[in-house]
A = this chain, B = another copy of it.
Amino acid sequence: MGEPTEPGPDAAAGRGRAALIEDGVEFDGRDAALLRAVDAAGSVAGAAAALGRSRARALSRIEALEDAYGTLVERRRGGEGGGGSRLAASGRNLLDRYDRLQAVLAATAAVPETVLDGTVTAVDGELAAVDTAVGELSGLHGGSGGGEADDPGVDRERVAVGDAVQVRIGADAVTVNDAASAVDPDATSARNRLDGRVSAIDSGETVSTVRIAVRAGDGGDADVEVAALITAESVERLGLAPGDPVSIRWKATATRLVAHAE
């Protein structure tokens, strides 16, 4: 218990693919490309040609999507140019939704995460407290809406006291504060707080990954490293350098608990 999993750039590595689901119909990148092509070509026929796909199939695919998502494409036959199709407003919204989902997925692949093993000590609604090597942390469990249609196995929505879980802390959610000028803990909504020392700074073009070594309070374990994504400007402004004592802070609502396999 409380064994820290090595954080690292590859902890969240792995590209992914995401799809929206409504009424059992998946909207994936292929569908997004189709809608975009319709928008660009002004007709389903032109879109199918541009994508090298069958026109009849493209049309029936759009109809299948519309059965689940509502009107996506306004089609008109006959008339000027023989007719044509335009993206409906709701179709554009769906594309935006997909793009944002894609952006989130790309971010989780690109953003380092810190993963700590721990055991649940208390559950209060959507929130749970977890005992880890660096002390007690609190985070959200279950997406309360992320039910899996194709994962009828164990329900991994809820956790219970005593469960072994992984605590996932996205590096983009961790705020680094100067240890000296401690912020009044009552003036902010950020709840999880740890003190540590900067152990390494990975400088990117404009964004740096700062690794903070936190003393493992439990037993004589090695230090746990927590990653934080910080703009290079902030690194400069805070004058961060390896060895500096800092205080890190992140919101419980940005912390996810995942039921650990085993």
Contact = CB atoms under 8 A, between A and B. Distances in A.
Contacts of A149: 15, 17, 29
A251 B229 contact: yes
Contact of A32 (B151, B252, B258): B151
A105 interface: yes
Nearest to A171: B253
A181 B124 CA distance: 29
Interface stretch (A53-61, A74-82, A199-207, A215-223): A199-207
A70 to B, nearest CB: 12
A21 B15 contact: yes
Given A109-B145, A206-B127, A238 B189 contact: yes
A107 B22 contact: no
Interface string A102-131: 111111111101010000000011110000
A106 B261 contact: no
A138 B234 CA distance: 13
B166 A96 contact: yes
Contacts of A193: none
Given A100-B168, A113-B100, A189-B234, A261 B39 contact: yes
A53 B186 CA distance: 55
Given A30-B150, A150-B30, A256-B103, A18 B21 contact: no
Interface residues on A, range: 35 or more
A176 to B, nearest CB: 4
Interface in A13-55: 14-22, 26, 28-30, 32-33, 36-37, 39
A175 interface: yes
Contacts of A195: none
Interface of A: 12, 14-22, 26, 28-30, 32-33, 36-37, 39, 92, 95-97, 99-111, 113, 115, 124-127, 138, 140, 142-154, 156, 166, 168, 170-173, 175-178, 181, 183-184, 186-191, 204-207, 228-231, 233-235, 237-238, 251-254, 256-262
25 contacts: A14-B21, A15-B21, A16-B19, A16-B21, A17-B148, A29-B149, A30-B151, A33-B151, A33-B152, A33-B153, A36-B154, A92-B261, A99-B156, A99-B258, A99-B259, A99-B261, A102-B148, A106-B144, A127-B206, A170-B254, A172-B251, A178-B186, A189-B230, A189-B231, A231-B253
